[in-house]
Structures are given as C-alpha cells and as structure tokens.
Structure 1
Amino acid sequence: MTDWYWQTWQGQGFLTCDLLRPWPHGFFTRRFWPQAPEALTAALASNAGVKRVKQVHGNRVLAAADLPNSDQPRAEADGLLSDRAHQALWVCSADCSPVLIGDRATGRVSAVHAGWRGTAQAIVPLAVDKLQAQGSRLEDLVVAIGPAIAGEVYQVSADVAAAVGRSLGIDGAGDDESVIAALLQRGDSALLRDDTPGKVRLDVRRVNAMQLEQLGLDRDQVAIAPHCTFQEPEWFFSYRRTGEKQVQWSGIVSQDAAAF
C-alpha cells in the first residue's frame, strides 16, 4: 500500500504521495486559501515556472509550450503536460479528482483535473496518451489521485453514472440501466447502490484508476489518497457540501531525466 505523508509549509499541512517522491509536489488543503499557484510553488521549488489553465470540465490536455503568454487569457483545458524540467503544473479542485502523473525515466509530469465529466471523456488516459507521444512508456509512469469526494457520499443520477461507466467500455444493452447493472456486477465496481430511485453512488477516483489499469498500468503504479473532501471539512473545500466556489490546489514540478 502506498504511503501518503503530511508536509508543512507556512505552518500548515499539505499532502504528498510516496509514488511521486522524486518530484516536488503537493496536494494542498483549504488552509492555504486564497493563495494561488504563483505563491504556492515556493513550497515545492523556488526556480520553477508556474503553468496553469482555465478549467472547464472537459478533456483537453495541453503541453506547457502551447499555453499563451502570461499577459493573455488562460487557455481552456483540464490537463497539462510538461515539456522541459522545472515547470510547476497546477490544477484546482473542490470534489473532483486532482491527478498528478510522473515519468520515472524522463522526469516529465502531467497534472489533470478529473471530475465526472472529464472522467467520462477519459481525460486521464488522454494525458497518458500524450505522454506516450512524447516518448513515455507505461511501465515508467506513476500516478497519484489526490483528495476528492468518496463514492459512499457522492450521489449521482443514473445518466451520469452510465456516462462514466461507458468510459470503461461498458455498454450493456446500450441503455443507462444496463450499463449501471453491468458496473454493479463487477467485483471492483466503482458504483454503490442508493435508496433513492434513479440514483447511485459513484467513486470517480476509482473509475480513473480503472481506466489506467485498462491502459496497462499495474495497480502498484497508481495510488488514491485516503481523504474525502466532503467528509473532512477541516481540511478540504467541497462544492457538494457547501455550494461555494472555493478550491484547493495540487501541483507537481518536472525534473531533469538525469535526476532519476
């Protein structure tokens, strides 16, 4: 089982994952609000350039080199790839899954915001595909899925659950109920039953892990943080809990290949 650790900066805690130990990285908590990545990067690396996008709940993944200049509006996307060392890639979340990916051979990284919409559109596998296009090999990748809403408390409608289920190649008879029934029958299901008609409980974190496993990553290459944004209000903002548009940031800094 992968270990997760609390680190301290400015007297407050942020999470790191043992899988990503070679890279400066952090899953920051609500206690750093309202600091932005331009300030938070100092907790990870003093010489890193900050890269982020305007998140839109889609599946667009951009290379850092494709981002507009700082004096222009931010590009709309939900994923980022490094293209050289010392780039700090950031995504924000408030129930959605922040996903940080590192390549142990090249030192390159990716940061992805994966809500249910992005997950239904396979944004994390798309980020992996783009890393492979840069020369990454699946066996060299490690992935940490940060604090997000847990499946046992994330009630969604049947059409949402079916849309996410189809991202795993599950079609059933084509209708939503058949997709949900097929998902519930899986031994590693990311769905839980709900007493409300037309509703189920969905673990988006687990779906992202399952997508990665379908690509060919081993389970020991993927870690899910043991923290729920909805159930831990002392540490995390949760849009589902409060309806307020407040976020916590997650970031990772690319490294030189020679560092590995």
Structure 2
Amino acid sequence: MLHTWQWQNWEGMPYLTCSILEDFTHGFFTQQFWLRPPEELTKILHPEALGYRLKQVHGNTVLTPREITNLLANSENSENTEEVKLAEGDGLMSETSLQAVWVASADCTPALIGDIVTGQVAAVHAGWRGTARKIIPQAIHRLLTTGSKLENLRIALGPAIAPEVYQVSTQTALEVGASIIPQDDANLLLAALESLPDSPILPDPHPDRLRLDVRRVNALQMEGLGISQEQIAIAPYCTFQSPEYFFSYRREKLKKVQWSGIVSR
C-alpha cells in the first residue's frame, strides 16, 4: 500500500499530514509556524485537546503526561525550580483521549505513532543518538504495555535530513547501525550493514566518513519488532534540501525547530 503525504494549509501556512495516520488529527509543521508554541499548534489540530512537550536531550526516555506532571511536581520541591520548566525526554505517549503530544526537530526524525484500535498515540524525536538507543522501539514497547498490539500501530516518519547530504563519522554510523545488527567487530558490522537491501549506509568521498539514513535505520528497527513495511510511512522531504519549508541545523547552524504533533482519539 502506497501512503500519501498531503500539504495542508492553515491561515496561508503549510504543514504536512500522512494518509497512514488518517484516523488521527496530526501534523508535521513547517518553519512557517516557528514562533507558535505547541500549545497554540494544538488548537489548530483540535480546539479541545491539551498539548504536551518535553525538554529534548537526545536520549531514549518516553514519558506520559502523568509522569511529566509528577516529575515537575518533584522538581518544584528542589532548589533549582527556575531551571526545571520541562521534563527531560525524547518521546511522549498519551494516556487518555484528546492529548496532543509534540516533538521538535530540525534535522532529526520526528515520528508520530497511532494505534487504530485503542486510539492512543505517541510522538518521538529520533536523532542519531536516540536512534542508536532505540527510542522508537522503546515508545512502541510502552504502548504495548498499555494494551496496544503491533499490528494496530501506524507510524509516520516525518521530514528529516536525507542520507545523500548527511555525512557522519564512521564511528557514528557504526554506533547507529549496531542497533539493528548486533556485532562488535567494526569491519564485520560495516559489511553487514552495506549488504542490507536499501542499506542505511552510503559511501562518502572522505575516508573516515559515511552517509547515514537515520529514518531507514528506524524503519529496520521497527521491522525487527515485527511491524510490517505497510505500517510505516517515510516522508519524501529532506530538511536540509527544502529550505523553503524546513529549518536545518546542519544547513544554517541555528537552533530553530519545527514541531510535529498528534492527538489521541
């Protein structure tokens, strides 16, 4: 099944949706919405939903709104209350209906997950570090503990930097690659990764560099869990190569982001 990506329009500004998540109100918002926080963007998706976000730290922690509330309540009892305004993590999953979960990204992969039976959702920020730590499988495992089944999940991987323009060190590529092929020997791991169909590793002219497809690695991680290719959609947009729509940290060296969010049913 071919999943389609559609441009939507809100007051003259574009954002993306994907047919794989047609059961859910969601959006991969562009840089045109840069000055609008997730609380405002939530109202675009659903006027009655409550929005949640995190302080993203390139890890693999996935939290629920209740856990965020508890963490922030505990932080208010500590001495550095002014520093702690957001809970730290890189994934959010809903617990009840009308909860909008948000992640920010520039070149990293924003993943939105929906369960077509339970109506629960998750949003994940998966850069190379989070991908190496299997953050999307972590989010999926948490959904399974609350009643989801693998076959009912639908996952959209939004705009992110494409492998053609994503040069990384060989060490970084191998660290990410080890998340799908456990292998301690660097040469054997590289050979195994390069032999994969639609390999996430591409050559680079620099002898100590490779090109890395982070979204492909995330898809392979999910397939390793038993999720079919038909349950995964990958956006045909590169943040680095689409300056009219998306910020790219690698392109601009500016800490600007675009937001991606999904609302639970």
Instruction: Report the TM-score when normalising by structure 1.
Output: 0.95
Q: What is the Cα deviation at residue 188 of structure 1?
A: 2.5
Shift of 1:22: 1.1
Cα distance in structure 2, aligned partners of 1:142 and 1:178: 33
Q: For 1:152-171, what aligned pairs fall within 5 Å after superposition?
A: 152-171=164-183
Q: Name the CA distance, whole Å, in 2 between partners of 1:56 and 1:177.
A: 30
Letter in 1 for 2:238: C
How far 1:237 sits from its partner (Å)? 0.2
Q: Aligned partner of 2:104: which letter?
A: C
Question: What is the CA-CA distance between 1:177 and the residue it aligns to?
Answer: 3.4
Measured in 1, the distance between the counterparts of 2:264 and 2:237 equals: 25
1:67 aligned counterpart, secondary structure: helix
Q: In structure 2, which of residues 131, 136, 150 is the aligned counterpart of residue 119 of structure 1?
A: 131
- Alignment partner, residue 224 of structure 2: 214
Q: 1:175 aligns with which of 178, 181, 185?
A: 185
1:199 aligns to 2:209 (yes or no): yes
Shift, 1:90, TM fit = 0.3
SS where residue 235 of structure 1 aligns? coil
Match of 1:251 in 2: 261
CA contact (8 A) 1:154 1:203 kept: yes
Moved more, 189-198 or 60-69: 60-69
Alpha-carbon shift at residue 169 of structure 1 (Å): 2.6
Find 1:144's aligned residue among 146, 152, 156.
156
Counterpart of 2:27?
Answer: 26
**Equivalents in 2 of 1:232, 1:45: separation in Å?**
28
Matched with 1:94 is 106
1:62 paired residue number = 63
Could you tell me which amino acid in structure 2 is paired with residue 150 of structure 1?
A
Maintained 8 Å contact 1:158/1:177: no
Q: In the TM superposition, what whole-angstrom CA distance separates every residue of 1:130-161 from its partner, at most 9, and x where no partner exists?
A: 00000100000000000000011100001100
Q: Give how far 1:179 is off.
A: 1.6
Residue-by-residue CA offset, 1:189-234 (whole Å, 9 max, x unaligned)? 1110111011000000111011111100110100000000000001
Could you say what secondary structure the match of 1:100 adopts?
strand
Q: What amino acid is the match of 1:120?
A: A
Distance 1:86 1:180 in 2: 44
Moved over 4 A (4+): 69-72
Unaligned 5+ residue runs, structure 2? 77-83
Q: Percent same amino acid among aligned pairs?
A: 54
The number of residue pairs the alignment matches comes to 253
Q: In the alignment, is residue 75 of structure 1 matched against residue 76 of structure 2?
A: no
Question: CA RMSD for the aligned pairs?
Answer: 1.2
After superposition, what is the alpha-carbon deviation per residue over 1:34-56, rounded to whole angstroms, capped at 9, x for unaligned? Answer: 11101111210000011111000
Distance 1:107 1:52 in 2: 19
Give distance in 2, aligned partners of 1:247 and 1:30: 7
Query: What amino acid is the match of 1:2?
Result: H
Q: Distance in 2 between matches of 1:109 and 1:89?
A: 8
